[in-house]
A and B are shown apart, each in its own frame.
Chain A
Amino acid sequence: MEWLLEEYATYQSTVAYIGLNGLLALSVYTTLSCGQLALGNAGFAAIGAYAAALLTMNAHAPFAVALLAAAALPALVAVPLGLPVLRLKGIFLAIATIGFGEVVRIGLVNWEYVNGAQGLVAIPQKASVGLIWILLGVALLLLWRLRGSKWGFALEAIRQDEPAARTLGIDTTRYKLAMLMVGAALAGLAGGLEAHFTFMVAPNGFAFTRVVDMLVFAVVGGVAAVWGPILGAAFLTLLPEVLREVSPHLGIEPGPLRLLVNGLILLAVILFLPQGLVSLPRWWQERRGARRPA
């Protein structure tokens, strides 16, 4: 029993990070589920993290309020970001969100009130592993319920053929904006939780590579099922731990190795298993000739 508790303490951080990365993966999944690529979620996470930290540290706000702000503020910011570009081709959203992420990061680096590049430290530790996983569970549940519903079908229709969806009465811009806002809220929530778990936040923790990470989680896990991104997050959070053991033997720095492996895995998945790991059972089934005659 003692041994179990010891093991748990050691791996607590990893378990927490699987949860946080799961939330971040879901934040990218929400827009992917309607066929959009939003690449600014590190920016949303940063807004959530800083807002929550400032509220607990400077305003002595209750943690619940800080978390609420962490989710709500990015969602509100997503509106002026998304509205102009969601009416246009998807590429514009990708570009605008790339720009947005950078703006947030550079803005934070240049903002003296939050110590610029050094960031904030000594944030009270209010987020526990349990809380992270409870909130992740709630998010999962809600997104899962969304899937087979009228709105879930509308999102799926937008993903598969947006113009056809419009002719069926679906206001695609509104749905895409809603998903952008939900994703922003999830990313912000993850940011706020992380800030209160690791006691500190700094702008370089929200660089573009973070967004690529989130994308890898979501794509590798697969967006065909709601728990796919979580699977991807788990797999790719544990992977660096494994790599860290291996890299000295290879004589390679763990950081770049992780980056390389992430990139290779993302490439392999998008080329060969685009629906992600969750689609493995179905893919296997179809390959074994389960096609029924017409």
Chain B
Amino acid sequence: MSAPLLEVGALEMAFGGVRAVDGASFAVAAGQVHGLIGPNGAGKTTVINLVSGLLAPTAGAIALEGRPLHGLPPHRIAARGVARTFQSIRLFPDLSARDNVLVGQHLRRRPSLAARLLMLPASRAEERQASARADALLERVGLAGRIHQKARHLSYGEQRRVEIARALASEPHLLLLDEPTAGMNPVEVQEVAALIRQVAADGRSVLLVEHNVRLVMDVCDTITVLNFGRVIADGKPAAVAVDPAVITAYLGAPA
């Protein structure tokens, strides 16, 4: 069993007196899809914010490939190979789908400033390549026909898929998906599920926060269940599904 890609240890996030995350620990192995589920308010998005660096933990540790990740600013965490989507969708509203994905390539592009300012051909070539890569990603998420649409004019489901494409553009080791299928119809959900399996097959790890339990059971190799900021179950989908603590958390006291 290889060393985990992502390790979260005794993670704590306190806002004043409230502990949104209260001593959570779990690990995600390389090339695996790891689900993070739990009732509303369980702290799932807070965990994503902590791993991606938008929040700094009040206690505990986060490590990527063995090296500490917590405390680093978001752009350095991204540079270490972490990309994310947002629960509330945060595309750049006035940029086209393609341009949004282009921004996602920021870390992977190394054009020369001089070439660009002097309008040298090398600059045009690099831009063509970057656009081609962006278009390929959009095609992969099924949006080949919407490349030039401004993000604000896309449908909800389309926006979520552009966000995934944008996150993939940096070729991350770890992809954090925060409710990527919220508001999608069943066909779209299946497409996203297939996409997630593909991404894992590419060797990337996925940390998937979701409310769609069927999707999670389908696609995840392992699952961590949170409630009130604490881990109440952790393991393979089949085991977690019948765990009494999980059932209680979702449905109240057992019948």
Q: Which residues of A contact B (CB under 8 A)?
A: 142, 145-146, 148-151, 153-154, 156-157, 160-161, 163-172, 291-292, 294
Contacts and interface: CB of A to CB of B under 8 A. Distances in A.
Contacts of B53: 166-167
B90 A168 contact: no
A68 to B, nearest CB: 18
B75 A170 contact: yes
B130 to A, nearest CB: 8
Contacts of B93: 160
A161 B92 contact: yes
A151 B111 CA distance: 10
27 contacts: A142-B117, A145-B119, A146-B117, A148-B127, A149-B113, A149-B123, A150-B111, A153-B99, A153-B103, A156-B95, A157-B92, A157-B103, A160-B94, A161-B92, A163-B54, A164-B91, A164-B92, A166-B53, A166-B75, A167-B77, A167-B84, A168-B83, A168-B104, A169-B170, A172-B75, A291-B153, A292-B153
Nearest to A164: B90
Interface string B148-166: 0100011100100000001
A168 B106 contact: yes
A167 B106 contact: no
Contacts of B86: 164
A230 B95 CA distance: 24
B74 interface: yes
B140 interface: no
Interface centre among A151, A157, A164, A169 (most CB of B within 10 A): A169
Interface centre among A146, A168, A292, A294 (most CB of B within 10 A): A168
Contacts of B119: 145
What class of interface size applies to chain B in its complex with A? 35 or more
Contacts of B107: 168-169
A156 B92 contact: yes
B52 A151 contact: no
Interface of B: 52-54, 73-75, 77-79, 83-84, 86, 90-95, 99, 102-107, 109, 111, 113, 116-117, 119, 123, 127, 130, 149, 153-155, 158, 166, 170
A145 B155 CA distance: 32
Contacts of A291: 153
Contacts of A157: 92, 95, 103
B4 to A, nearest CB: 22
Contacts of A168: 75, 78, 83, 103-104, 106-107, 166, 170
A174 to B, nearest CB: 9
A165 B94 CA distance: 14
Contacts of A148: 127
A165 B103 contact: yes
A151 B102 CA distance: 11
A146 to B, nearest CB: 8
A160 B151 CA distance: 12
A191 B116 CA distance: 28
A112 to B, nearest CB: 43
A169 B92 contact: no
